[in-house]
Structure 1
Amino acid sequence: MGTIDFAPLFRSTVGFDRLFDLLDGATRFETADNYPPYNIEKTGEDAYCITMAVAGFGPEDLSITAQPNLLVVAGQKAKQDDVKYLHHGLATRAFERRFNLADYVQVKGASLENGLLSVNLVREIPEAMKPRTIQIGHAPQPKAIEAKVGETQTAESKKAA
C-alpha cells in the first residue's frame, strides 16, 4: 500500500498536525505485537471501556499512565527463580500498550477481575466548549432629543451673559 501525501493539506490547514500524524501512522504497515489481546467497547454515548486479557498479572504487576491524549498500560511480571515449570504456557512477558485518546477523554477508573483488566474512559467536554444557544434580542432604539425654540443656548452663550 502506498503512502498518502498530506503536503497539500498542510498548506491550507492549521492545528491538524496530530490528526495527520495519526492517519500517517495508521496507514503504515507494522508488525505489531498482539500481546496482550484487548477489546475496546463503547458503553455509552460518551463512555468507553478497554478490556485487556492479562492472565497471570496482579495489580502490583500492572501500571496505567494517563497523559494528555495518551493512555499507556504496561505490565512487568516479577521473576520467580524458585519456580520450576514442567510446562510454561502462560505468557507473562513484559508488555506496553499505547492508546491514543481523543481530546477531553479522561480515565475514570480501572479494575482487575478474573484476569481481565478493564479501564473505563469518558469524554467530558468543558462547559466553555459545548454549543450554546444565543438569544436574539431587539437593539435599543436611539432616544430622540427635543429642544424647545427658546432653550437652544449653548454653553458659550451662557458664559458670555
Structure 2
Amino acid sequence: MNSISLTPLFRSSIGFDRFNDFFESALAAQSVTYPPYNVEKRGDDNYRIVVAAAGVDESELDIQVVRNMLTISSARRESPGEESQYLYQGIAQRAFKLSFRLDDYIEVEGASLKNGLLHVDLVRRLPEAAKPRRIAVNADLKAVASSNVVSIGQTA
C-alpha cells in the first residue's frame, strides 16, 4: 500500500495534524457493502444518510454519536420461533454496523424509519465564535479589549 505524507500541508496550517490520522484510518478501512446506504447533501448545511434497513424494526436500531463518530447498528434478528427452510434466501437479515466521522459542528437532528429506509438527518450549526469576523487594524487598545477584536501589530 502506498503511503501518503501530509507534511507539506502542515507547513502552512495550524491544528490540522489530526487529519493525518483521519486519512490513514480512511485508507485502511475496508469498504462496507452491507447494508447499502446513501449520503446526501440537502443544502449548504443539511445532510442526510439513508440506510436500506429492510425488515429491521425501530427497536432493533441503535444510533449513537460519540466524539464526532456517528454509529448506526442493528443486532442480528432472531427468528420468531418458526424454523423455516429457505429454498432461496435473498433478503439478508444480519447484524450491521456503519460508522461515519462527523465534522466539527455537525449534529444529528433526527432519525426516522419509513418503508424500510432509515433516514438520519444532520445539520451543521456554527457557533458565533466560529463564524467569520472582521479584524481591525491599529484599533484602540480599549476597543480591542472590550470587543475581542484582534489588532494586527499589537502584542498581547
Same fold (TM over 0.5): yes
Identity, % of aligned positions: 43
Give me the whole-angstrom Cα distance separating, in 1, the residues matched to 2:80 and 2:135.
68
User: What SS does the corresponding residue of 1:44 show, helix, strand or coil?
Assistant: coil
**1:1-161 superposed matches below 5 A:** 1-6=1-6, 14-28=14-28, 30-80=29-79, 82-83=81-82, 84-86=84-86, 87-133=88-134
Q: CA deviation at 1:138?
A: 8.2
Q: CA deviation at 1:123?
A: 0.5
Give me the whole-angstrom Cα distance separating, in 2, the residues matched to 1:129 and 1:106.
15
Equivalent position amino acid for 1:90 in 2: I
Give me the whole-angstrom Cα distance separating, in 2, the residues matched to 1:40 and 1:122.
13
Contact 2:65 2:71 in 1 (8 A): yes
Equivalent position amino acid for 2:127 in 1: P
After superposition, give the CA deviation of every residue in 1:2-45 in whole Å (9 maximum; x if it has no partner).
Answer: 111345666776532321111222334x5433101110000011
Of stretches 56-65 and 75-84 in structure 1, the one that deviates more from structure 2 is 75-84
Give me the whole-angstrom Cα distance separating, in 1, the residues matched to 2:138 and 2:3.
52
* TM-score in terms of structure 1 length: 0.73
Equivalent position amino acid for 2:23 in 1: L
- Structure 1 stretches of at least 4 aligned residues deviating more than 4 Å after TM superposition: 7-14, 134-139
Give me the whole-angstrom Cα distance separating, in 2, the residues matched to 1:40 and 1:18.
23
Q: CA deviation at 1:129?
A: 1.5
Give me the whole-angstrom Cα distance separating, in 1, the residues matched to 2:132 and 2:73.
37
Q: How many residues align?
A: 138
Contact 1:57 1:77 in 2 (8 A): no
* TM-score in terms of structure 2 length: 0.76
Give me the whole-angstrom Cα distance separating, in 2, the residues matched to 1:75 and 1:125.
31
Of stretches 1-10 and 33-42 in structure 1, the one that deviates more from structure 2 is 1-10
Return 5+ residue gaps in structure 2 as ranges: 141-156
Pairwise CA RMSD of aligned residues?
2.6
After superposition, give the CA deviation of every residue in 1:111-151 in whole Å (9 maximum; x if it has no partner).
Answer: 00010000000000101211124678986xxxxxxxxxxxx
